[in-house]
Structure 1
Amino acid sequence: MPGHHPLRRRTTIPASHPRTRTPSTAEAGAWAEVLVRHQFLHGAVLAPNGQWLTQDRPEAPVRVLDGPAALVELAAEIQHRVRTTRNRTR
């Protein structure tokens, strides 16, 4: 494999579609709305300081996400989990 260095270990796996820009607050808000509407999250609220407060279930602890990129990453993780689960059941 060209450029492959067998002695170097990768510590991260690159994204299959790396983002070329930082997600906006509007994009994160759209994802939050979808995640709540489809009941993947109980709630997601944008705090005045730009953080997102999310909750999986009503009794679950509130998770603090540091900005729009973290919320979009959470949406990607949920999508991956849903797709992986669906593929296993087929």
Structure 2
Amino acid sequence: MIPRPPRSSEPTTAEASAWADVLVRRRLLHAAVPTPTGQWLVQFQPDGPVCVLTGPADVVELAATTQHHIRSTRSESR
């Protein structure tokens, strides 16, 4: 797999929010909610624990990791 190029800037709250929305709509997360402090509360399952992500970069990283896992799982099943 081709490695990701380094980012030229830090992810914004808007970018993190867009990725969080995609993850929730695709049912890869149960919930992702930003807090006033810039942290994000993430829950993978409805009855699961709530994880605290420190900021937008962690949300974008979670989306990238999830996408990588999905793609690598698909290529293994072919």
Q: TM-score range by the shorter chain?
A: over 0.9
Give 2:40's aligned residue: 52
SS of match in other structure, 1:45: strand
Question: What runs of 5+ residues in structure 2 fail to find an aligned partner?
Answer: none
Residues of 1 paired with 2:58 and 2:39: CA distance? 9
Greater length-normalized contact order (CA 8 Å, ≥ 6 residues apart): 2
RMSD (CA atoms): 0.8
- TM-score, scaled to structure 1: 0.82
The alignment status of 1:63 with 2:51, answered yes or no, reads yes
The runs of at least 4 consecutive aligned structure 1 residues that moved more than 2 Å come to: none
Q: What does 1:21-36 align with in structure 2 at a 5 Å threshold?
A: 21-36=9-24
Q: Which runs of 5+ in 1 are unaligned?
A: 1-14
Q: After superposition, where does 1:66-81 map in structure 2 within 5 Å?
A: 66-81=54-69
TM-score (norm 2): 0.94
Query: How many residue pairs are counted as aligned between the two chains?
Result: 76
Give the percent of matched residue pairs that are identical in Structure 1 and Structure 2.
57
